[in-house]
Structure 1
Amino acid sequence: MKKDIEIPEVEDVHIAAVREFNEEFRAEEWNVYLINNQIKPIEMVLIVARGGDKKKQTSVMRHKLEKLPARSFAKIEFIQDEVLQLDNEYLVTFFAENKMYEKSFSFKKNSVSEKALDGLPVIPKKGVLAE
């Protein structure tokens, strides 16, 4: 029975942390984005975010997007610098072409930093892609 269940592999969907200037608070901050670099939209996107290590845990945050068009991105959440000192995981579930997809992305503790910035797909800014 288990061999009959098809679990399609997620390709060209990413989670990225981007360093941006917040005009309202006049400060640099990290924001997490979902990137759809596919040629098709993704729908009913559910994201469960959590962070932690052996000593500390963050609250579990849930986010929902009805639709993310092809070759686009959406801001998911602001992430505090203190939380970046923990392992952070994003479980992303979505539908595309009538199939359900799921993938877990993670930022290892202290992996999101200014010196780790690099080019990103679709977003015209530098950031750090989750593994």
Structure 2
Amino acid sequence: MIKDLPENIVKDIAIAVALESENVESKVWYVYLINLKNEPIENVLVTSKGYGEKDGELVKTSVLRHSFPAISPQSYKLIEPIDEQTFGLNNEYWLSYYIGRDIFDKKFIFLPESIVDDNFIKLPMINKPGVMIR
């Protein structure tokens, strides 16, 4: 039965962690969903959670859920703010969306310590420095 399901491969969609602002005391970070497609995506659901080991103990964050009716082509949506203290954990974003009647889903995982200056790029459409997974 599973072999009969179509392989709806997620393309031209990205999750990005962007540095919004910084001052001497702190940095402000946000997570975005970027639709690089030339068509809208609809009924978008994103769940986020962090997990891993910190100071020798297993740590899990709360699971957050976000819903968007549609995201226009060549645009982006703010998913959530993210705390710098979670950068030492796996930060997982599970995305599901529809194009027409077809459903697509994919997990995006920012590995521990992957959100660092050495991995920064200029994020498309957002035009801010950050790290992006496609």
Query: TM-score when scaled to structure 1?
Result: 0.91
Please give the per-residue CA displacement for 1:17-61, whole angstroms capped at 9, x wherever unaligned: 000127xxx852111000000000001100010111141000001
Deviation, 1:72, is 0.1
Counterpart for residue 19 of structure 1: 19
1:79 maps to a residue whose letter is: I
Shifted more, 87-96 versus 47-56: the winner is 47-56
Deviation, 1:127, is 1.2
Counterpart for residue 49 of structure 2: 50
Aligned equivalents of 1:13, 1:21: Cα separation in 2: 24
Counterpart for residue 120 of structure 2: 117
Deviation, 1:7, is 2.6
Counterpart for residue 40 of structure 2: 41
Shifted more, 49-58 versus 11-20: the winner is 49-58
Counterpart for residue 81 of structure 1: 84
Gaps of 5+ in 2: none
RMSD: 1.8
Shifted more, 95-104 versus 121-130: the winner is 121-130
Aligned equivalents of 1:71, 1:98: Cα separation in 2: 21
Aligned equivalents of 1:128, 1:104: Cα separation in 2: 16
Whether 1:102 aligns to 2:101 is no
Counterpart for residue 62 of structure 1: 65
Aligned equivalents of 1:75, 1:31: Cα separation in 2: 7
Deviation, 1:115, is 2.8
Counterpart for residue 129 of structure 2: 126
Aligned residues: 129
Counterpart for residue 92 of structure 1: 95
Aligned equivalents of 1:63, 1:37: Cα separation in 2: 19
- Partner of 1:40, secondary structure, is coil
Deviation, 1:102, is 0.2
